[in-house]
Amino acid sequence: MAGESSFDVVSKVDRQEVDNALNQAAKEIAQRYDFKGTGAAIAWSGTETIVMRANSEDRVKAVYDVFQTKLIRRGVSLKAVDAGEPKPSGKEYRIEAGIKEGLSQENAKKIGKIVREQGPKGVKTQVTGDELRVSSKSRNDLQAVIALLKDADLDIALQFVNYR
């Protein structure tokens, strides 16, 4: 197997960056004039869910927009955030957003199929846990696969690690 190069396709989110974006959004919401008196807030609910609250549907969407801006600024893909629609809860509206991590078997198979059908010949894929290993004898083929996957319209955030 000498001379075989590979990399892993993963879907991971830097929790610290998400936490920093959330804290920045919370600060901005507390300080902005247009959010005064609206009960607007954003906070973690457990370890996987972020809850945004406000007294109207438009305000809670604005809170989500502020959060998205902070995520983009910190380099976190918006595909990693799975937000629902605003729901009325008593006198306030809420949006609950989850963080999506890891490649599901279904997504790994979908990526593998894209690589087999559109990628260079001689490139092999192998699913291991929540990641997908792509290997080939040619590094140029691996570069082509990375470019192909970056251009593919997938609903998950992809990173390419362990390139060797």
DSSP-H helix ranges across the chain? 15-31, 57-73, 105-118, 139-151
**134 and 73 in a common domain:** no
pLDDT bin (cut points 50, 70, 90) of residue 1 is very low
Residue with tokens 């960056």: 17
Contact predicate 101/55, CB 8 Å:
no
CATH of the domain at 47: 3.30.70.990
Q: Are residues 24 and 77 in the same domain?
A: yes
Supply the pLDDT for residue 27: 96
Neighbours of 91 (CB within 10 A): 7
State the pLDDT at residue 2. 52
* pLDDT score for 35: 92
Q: What is the CATH number of the domain that holds 139?
A: 3.30.70.860
Which pTM does this prediction carry? 0.84
Q: Measured on CA atoms in the order 65, 46, 90, 33, is the torsion positive or negative?
A: negative
Q: Same domain, yes or no, for 144 and 81? A: no
Q: Which residues pair with 51 in a beta bridge?
A: 43, 96
In this structure, the answer to whether residues 111 and 157 fall within a common structural domain is yes
pLDDT at residue 156, as a whole number: 87
| pLDDT tens digits, one per residue of 66-125 | 999 999 999 999 999 999 999 998 899 999 999 988 888 888 889 999 999 998 888 999
Quote the DSSP letter at residue 121.
Answer: T
Q: What's the mean pLDDT in 133-156?
A: 90
Domain count, the chain: 2
User: Which of 80, 99, 118 is the C-terminal boundary of a domain?
Assistant: 99
Domain that holds residue 32: 15-99
Residues 57 and 124 in one domain: no
